[in-house]
Amino acid sequence: MRTYVDIVKKVLESGIKTPTRQGTPAYAIAGAIFEHDMSKGFPLLTTKKVPFRLIATELEFFINGITDKKWLQDRNNHIWDEWASPLKAPYGHDEASKKRMLEERDLGPIYGFQWRHFNAPYKSFDTDYTNLGIDQLKKMVETLKNNPRDRRMIVSAWNPIQFGEMGLPPCHYSFQVTVINGKLNLLWNQRSVDTMLGLPFNIASYALLLHLLAKETGLEEGKLVGFLADVHIFENHFEGAKEQLLRDTEKYPLSKIETENWKSIFDWKSSDTKVIGYESYDKIPFEIAI
């Protein structure tokens, strides 16, 4: 995972101090590319421990178009706890706003909703949206099976019409797949990149999605590419970032993943996929910026 560590190094060395919405200053660069060949292993960081279970359950949440954060909490996944639909719990840094956001379970029409029901009128997390909106993920799968050389297989979560209803406008806002020489490649676009906390999750999540799409279509796993825009490290993450640069990227080999009980990507459960042979350095704690 030298590619990831090189991005961290570049931000530390050349990032420009900038103010942020969260209040904590960050050091940012304009543009970076993450690239990984899936034949070399699953890109779960080895320079710090990354919780695959949380990544997998969040992806299952997205694939099923769920917008109720209690679904994640019931699976002991709390990465969306602090966010909520701004129509029900308006965003704010004051304690009263934070409390309302924490208690509200509706996240609004975020990632998975747009993947499966793009632009359908949003009412609530418990509304039945069957056959409403555009099921972009289903269309992608159908195209992969029927016309794999199509160059328009894109899923977008970027829907400005519904920004005001989303708990968080999408940071990784679209992904595309291409098939070249029998290999499925996945390329994602990300507008805002929390390098230390978010990016390791994003890498593993899209790698897992690539794996699932390849199983769905019988294609080989190819390249994973991330086009990253505002790439930043928060000031309070600096010490952890420096610690990571001291760690040997070659000490541990990359793990592999295996998926059992396979029916289809739409029936997949996060518990069906296991990480094989994962070893890493210890966790580095980073405080999340809300």
Average confidence (pLDDT) per 10 residues, the chain, 290 residues: 94 95 91 98 97 98 98 98 96 93 97 98 98 98 97 98 97 98 98 96 98 98 98 95 95 97 97 98 83
Task: Kindly state whether residue 284 falls inside one of the protein's structural domains.
Answer: no
Counting Cα atoms < 13 Å in the Cβ hemisphere of 250 gives 0
Say if 184 falls within a structural domain: yes
| E strands in the chain | 16-18, 26-37, 154-156, 172-180, 183-194, 220-234, 256-259, 273-276
Is residue 153 included in any domain, yes or no?
yes
Determine, yes or no, domain membership for 131: yes
Kindly calculate the radius of gyration of the chain based on its CA atoms and give it in whole angstroms: 19
Whether residue 242 is contained in a domain is answered as yes
Q: The pTM is what?
A: 0.96
The CATH number assigned to the domain holding 58 equals 3.30.572.10
The predicted pLDDT at position 290 comes to: 60
Query: Sign of the C-alpha dihedral, residues 224, 161, 111, 119?
Result: negative
Active site residues: 171
What is the domain range of residue 202?
A: 2-276
Q: Is residue 281 a part of any domain in this protein?
A: no
Token pair recorded at residue 192: 């805002």
What total of structural domains would you count in the chain?
A: 1
Q: Has residue 282 been placed in a domain?
A: no
Do the domain assignments include residue 190? yes
Residue 181, token pair as written in the block: 């020489």
